[in-house]
Amino acid sequence: MPPPSPTNEPLPPVVDNADAPVVFADVMEGGGPFNGNLNLTFSVLQLDHTQNPPKLYRRVCLRLVMPASTAEATAHFIDHLLKQGQGGLPTTAPSKPTLN
């Protein structure tokens, strides 16, 4: 079955979900386009306490996939927030992600 084609109709209303996961990430590891979607991989810094002293490592915590149009709108929104200085967001990224 082919995917539904985009329409100009308004989106349906949002229904909040109090059980939706909240994911924290320290680093965007990378990403790239695939099949009309943008695929992003994020990691979190963790300590391995089986070693003495504990060793720091990065663990993948989220793989985010979104349509290219949503990724573009998200990029514009983030750019707007950074330019406005809202939410205490830094104006520069701590590291450069690798984009393929």
Q: What is the average pLDDT score of the chain?
A: 85
Question: What would the pLDDT profile of 44-79 be if each residue is shown by its tens digit?
Answer: 999 999 999 999 999 999 999 999 999 999 999 989
**Nearest partner of 60 among 78, 45, 42, 72, judged by Cα:** 42
Q: What's the pLDDT score for residue 85?
A: 76
CA distance 76 to 82: 10
CA distance 41 to 64: 6
**Nearest partner of 71 among 15, 9, 23, 28, judged by Cα:** 28
3-class SS shares of the chain: helix, strand, coil, % to 5: 20, 35, 45
Q: What's the pLDDT score for residue 100?
A: 47
